[in-house]
A and B are shown apart, each in its own frame.
Chain A
Amino acid sequence: AQSVTQLGSHVSVSEGALVLLRCNYSSSVPPYLFWYVQYPNQGLQLLLKYTSAATLVKGINGFEAEFKKSETSFHLTKPSAHMSDAAEYFCAVSNYGGATNKLIFGTGTLLAVQP
């Protein structure tokens, strides 16, 4: 069975500091991996996805993530945090070649950005 673990349910950074949100996955088949962001009282928005092409994936709003098979990780980073980045971030996995697009989500990481 596939699963995703997000280390750190709450992360706080200062404005301008590096953002690092951790995600580790478990999958017996090559995974597709996604990062979604949820702003307060809104739906989820895709930040970026890994679909077995380049291991370093660039997304919207200056975020990027690197797929590391040896570490089964897909951590999300941003060089410089903005106040507007404060939100809940979800890592998700979907099985490669699956007949259905079933996303398995992690438990989320709430990012706070301090002025």
Chain B
Amino acid sequence: DTAVSQTPKYLVTQMGNDKSIKCEQNLGHDTMYWYKQDSKKFLKIMFSYNNKELIINETVPNRFSPKSPDKAHLNLHINSLELGDSAVYFCASSQGTGSYNEQFFGPGTRLTVL
């Protein structure tokens, strides 16, 4: 069973389009995250939800809008896609918001904006 899954795995789209990435975890965790990994492999947190409540919102363009319909799901919607949005987006989850908690990562969604 896949612990943290993401769909789609690859996403190729044109500039200006709107797209969504979905994440689901079956670990029973209450906290989920979105990270962005750029072309130089640098990872940066974007958002975090705890029990469906937004708790981390980094400096991210408001074209990015996360939504957590329940504790097991966290989606990321991106409006008006730009070339600079091309990256790998990782979803992660943890039990609780404690700084010592291990985060479990999904396989990533590679977004390419043409």
Contact = CB atoms under 8 A, between A and B. Distances in A.
A18 interface: no
Contacts, number: 64
5 contacts: A46-B103, A98-B99, A101-B31, A101-B101, A103-B45
A46 B45 contact: no
B27 interface: no
Contact of B105 (A43, A96, A100, A108): A43
Nearest to A94: B99
A32 to B, nearest CB: 5
A114 to B, nearest CB: 21
Contacts of A105: 42-44
A113 B4 CA distance: 29
- How big is the B interface, by class? 20 to 34
Which residue among A43, A96, A98 has the maximum number of chain B CB atoms within 10 Å of its CB? A43
B56 A102 contact: yes
Interface string A28-42: 000010101000011
Interface residues of A, number: 26
A101 B94 contact: yes
Interface of B: 4, 31, 40-45, 48, 55-56, 90, 92, 94, 96-108
B42 A108 contact: yes
A107 B43 CA distance: 8
Which residue among A45, A88, A100 has the maximum number of chain B CB atoms within 10 Å of its CB? A100
Given A90-B43, A107-B41, A102 B105 contact: no
A6 B85 CA distance: 25
B56 A32 contact: no
Contacts of B56: 100, 102
B97 A101 contact: yes
A43 B107 contact: yes
B40 A43 contact: no
